[in-house]
Amino acid sequence: QLQLQESGPGLVKSSETLSLNCTVSGGSLTSTSYYWGWIRQPPGKGLEWIGSIYFSGSTYYNPSLRSRVTVSLDTSKSQFSLKLTSVTAADTAVYYCARITDYAFDSWGQGTLVTVSS
């Protein structure tokens, strides 16, 4: 059974870089059938797609975040990662990783809260 697990610091200082990993078990990051993505949800608010990556390394980003976001893949560790630079309080959110198939997010990690402190 596919499982995704986010990991990384829960507290990041303003202007620094947020870094998260998503470890995938029970499935392969090299499958041609799936993309892998990051989504976030500020406290009490809705969902926002951040970016996605394909096994080939092709990446796609939300235009509103593109200048600050990098998503990468490490198949040897069964992980994909998110880096978000120059964070502010507006980046405080629960960050989810997910698998994408048929243009929908069909499996999600449990999410990890990242708080940006001043």
Partner 1 sequence: IELTQSPGTLSLSPGERATLSCRASQSVSGNYLAWYQQTPGQAPRLLIYGAFRRATGIPDRFSGSGSGTDFTLTISRLEPEDFGMYYCQHYGSSLIKPHMYTFGQGTKLEIK
Between CA 105 and CA 118 the distance in angstroms is 33
**Cα angle 85, 24, 46; round to 5:** 55
CB 50, min distance to partner 1, A: 9
Q: Interface with partner 1 includes 55 (CB under 8 A)?
A: no
Give the DSSP letter string of 18-30.
Answer: EEEEEEEESS-TT
Out of 60, 75, 86, 89, point to the residue binding partner 1 (CB under 8 A). 60
Stretch that binds partner 1, among 8-16, 26-34, 69-77, 100-108 (CB under 8 A): 100-108
Burial class (CB in 10 A: 0-12, 13-18, 19+), 62: middle
Residues numbered 30 to 49 that lie near partner 1 (CB under 8 A) are 37, 39, 46-49
Site membership for partner 1, residue 104 (CB under 8 A): yes
Sites of contact with partner 1 (CB under 8 A): 37, 39, 46-49, 52, 60, 62-63, 96, 102-111
